[in-house]
Amino acid sequence: MTSPPLAETPAPPYYAVIFTSHRHEVDDGYAQMAERMLELARCQPGFLGVESARDGLGITVSYWADLDSIRQWRAQVEHRQAQRLGRERWYSAFRVRIARVEREYGLP
């Protein structure tokens, strides 16, 4: 099984939006909405990349050039609809954390 690629981000600083969640068992359109949100995010000014994993606890980290880009993404009309559906249908708990990335290192 091939691992998904790591996001290619520029030299810091930039920002990370860390979304952690527990989902209800019912999918009810979740997979389609998640794909649509990824498609939309990739078109947003300031979007740098995303990494995601789920094994009980879901963790999605999206990377952004600046805080204004994050604000614009949060206010995007279809994303607002997905946020509402997430609260109503899909998530039993979630947290959003926004952090400035000051440094990064790793293997190629």
pLDDT in tens, 79-103: 999 999 999 999 999 999 999 999 9
**Whether 63 contacts 48, CB under 8 Å:** yes
pLDDT in tens, 28-66: 899 999 999 999 999 999 999 999 998 889 999 999 999
Domains of the chain are: 14-101 (3.30.70.100)
* pLDDT score recorded for residue 30: 93
User: How far is residue 65's CA from residue 97's CA, in Å, rounded to a whole number?
Assistant: 16
Helix axes 77-85, 30-43, angle to 10 degrees: 150
Residue 70 has pLDDT above 90, yes or no: yes
